[in-house]
Structure 1
């Protein structure tokens, strides 16, 4: 049974919400970051990236303490205000092509430990420890873990009806998105949501594996704590049918000593290959791969006789794993997909022409386009305690940082 917990959130004052919230820090290039910090004094970027011009010249602990001080300044100035009672929120994000709706709530670290909340990605220990230290010094988290759950008719109906009520916030962003937030603060509604989520046997992490692992590590370091907030982490819970999954395409800097003809001959052992010439071709089905090499696109169709039927076929038949097992590792000599500088990644949200341009410019030699995984593959892996290869999925929605803050 899945447990969700209301919490005393901190959020922007209604008149400043559009100015305060921001994309995740990593989404900004240096020029954008400097512009937002220079011209918008209310941006939450001032909190998560204080004294940005000198940020690289100070130690991590001093930087985190600066974050904590700036956060307190925002509260003292009433830019951020705290709820008087524990609440849930209903949150909707409208993009150009999708509408995402879900519940913002606390989720249980104990559920995470006991695999009620399931994961499908591996984590890097140094990143987990860095996020844990960040939360320890700052005493807050402003980016929830994105969690998906099997569709529930009752919860879906509740969300549809609740969205007809007057929202707490409604604002647009410079990325042409519309964001709407409703506060759920009546005890009857809170009890109803808690009871209905308790009927759901498992939740699945879609995005935020490092944040959830950091919450577990922080609780482990504070065993016996009476601080109930440490026993939960903030999550944005969304029905699995409402999640949008994109692929991560791969671009590689060289052919590891192969000539073009030898490389194509080698991969023909596993794939039927069609030269698409200048057609901007991308996969339309599972077991199909696109390749761009030396000015031409190729369609690669994985040979049926190579499809695994072994005990762990869920991971062996994953398209990202197939590409690694047949080309990236044995032919191109790539082992560590997270850290090898010979490989880079392009989100499936971007056009195939981006990959073409990067390779035509000469920095990269070959690109591979994948078909995106679906939620059933992710759940099958999580249910069998299997881990996807790094950079297998790019999942939406993406949460606005500073919209809702979870204090520890």
Structure 2
């Protein structure tokens, strides 16, 4: 059964929340973070992307970056722009994008549940990224950003969230991207804790590296600080979650785009002038030589695993491995990934500019596929899911150690 842990959030004073809250660290690079934070001294990017306050070209893994992140968090914590709740609390976080809302429970979850597979993963993590996030946690004595989890719909938690939304919100902000973020403090934290005891499994949607880093930090700290055994998450019922496609671009195709197109036509039935967005599972759209081509992916072989039945798995076996020699998309420099929120226009731009030879527009993975793969103890290929809208960082921060 899932452990839900109320916490005393460090959060911005209401009148400054729109200046503090920012996009998560892993959807932007250092250059983009520097641009977004320009002229915004309160932006939480100074905590989660502290290299922006060091000379350009400073590696995000430089010792000075971790020290500055901790210093920036301390400065924010002791400033007039933040406050900390006096009692451990549970919160409700609602996102609204394009007229659609989704609501989740914002609280801490347990590293014990993560280690014992109550919280199930669907993606392999990379050691360098684990190391980076773990060091930030250890030096800041904080979990600065929440992860996104999901769980099977439950009447009790839905009713409790509805009750919380009848309170006055702590924050209700619409950012420049048009997404509205509303957060309430729940009136009865214990009721949420009790309700989640009846939830058998939680699933990582977004934030695998933050989960793993929280687990590693808790193991390193040990029994010295019980609060470090918990990390913040927003938990959404499955029916509330939307997955967008995670598209691919290939930097270089063998013998050039024209010759590669002929090879594709020899193997597959390509439909020219196709819709850039595949209309159903099992189909992809390819962009090369200035034209979109529709293509049906070959079915998985009899006896194939759940992963091989995914469109991303079928793509690997039909095209990436045999025609491009890409056996490990996680590490191969010839493939890159573009979140579906950027649209197919971003794929065309990458090819038309000469940066890439070919773009692959995918059909979105279904949330049920994610759950089925996780329940089976399997892992999806990298970049199989893109969740939107994204949580903002800086609204509610979990402190431990001396900072708490």
Normalised by the length of structure 1, the TM-score is: 0.91
Contact map agreement 1:55 1:63 (CA 8 A) in 2: no
Is 1:273 the counterpart of 2:270 in the alignment? yes
Contact map agreement 1:103 1:238 (CA 8 A) in 2: yes
Superposed, 1:9-408 pairs within 5 Å as 9-28=9-28, 33-34=33-34, 36-50=36-50, 52-54=53-55, 56-57=57-58, 60-184=62-186, 186=187, 189-223=188-222, 225-257=223-255, 260=258, 263-265=261-263, 269=267, 271-276=268-273, 279-303=274-298, 306-310=299-303, 312-408=304-400
Task: State the 1:267 CA deviation.
Answer: 6.5
Cα distance in 1 between the residues matched to 2:362 and 2:235: 27
Quickly say closer, same or farther: Cα 1:125–1:28, change in 2 above 3 A. closer
Cα distance in 2 between the residues matched to 1:24 and 1:48: 8
Gaps of 5+ in 2: none
Aligned length: 398
Quickly say closer, same or farther: Cα 1:125–1:32, change in 2 above 3 A. closer
Cα distance in 1 between the residues matched to 2:365 and 2:149: 17
Task: State the 1:245 CA deviation.
Answer: 0.4
Is 1:5 the counterpart of 2:5 in the alignment? yes
Say which is worse superposed, 338-347 or 251-260, in terms of deviation: 251-260
Task: State the 1:79 CA deviation.
Answer: 1.5
Cα distance in 2 between the residues matched to 1:180 and 1:333: 46
Task: State the 1:347 CA deviation.
Answer: 1.7
Quickly say closer, same or farther: Cα 1:55–1:361, change in 2 above 3 A. closer
Cα distance in 2 between the residues matched to 1:113 and 1:357: 42
Contact map agreement 2:151 2:201 (CA 8 A) in 1: yes
Task: State the 1:214 CA deviation.
Answer: 0.8
Cα distance in 2 between the residues matched to 1:88 and 1:29: 31
Say which is worse superposed, 169-178 or 87-96, in terms of deviation: 169-178
Q: Spell out, residue by residue over 1:302-350, the C-alpha distance to the aligned partner (whole angstroms, 9 max, x if none).
A: 34xx33331x531111101111111111111123313322222222223
Cα distance in 1 between the residues matched to 2:349 and 2:356: 10
Cα distance in 2 between the residues matched to 1:31 and 1:2: 39
Gaps of 5+ in 1: none
Quickly say closer, same or farther: Cα 1:40–1:398, change in 2 above 3 A. same
Quickly say closer, same or farther: Cα 1:157–1:52, change in 2 above 3 A. same
CA RMSD between the two structures:
2.2
Cα distance in 2 between the residues matched to 1:284 and 1:115: 35
Cα distance in 2 between the residues matched to 1:73 and 1:226: 25
**Helix, strand or coil at the partner of 2:14:** coil
Cα distance in 1 between the residues matched to 2:122 and 2:368: 12
Cα distance in 2 between the residues matched to 1:307 and 1:338: 21
Cα distance in 2 between the residues matched to 1:110 and 1:300: 44
Normalised by the length of structure 2, the TM-score is: 0.92
Task: State the 1:364 CA deviation.
Answer: 1.7
Contact map agreement 1:243 1:397 (CA 8 A) in 2: no
Task: State the 1:369 CA deviation.
Answer: 1.3
Cα distance in 2 between the residues matched to 1:38 and 1:293: 37
Task: State the 1:268 CA deviation.
Answer: 5.2
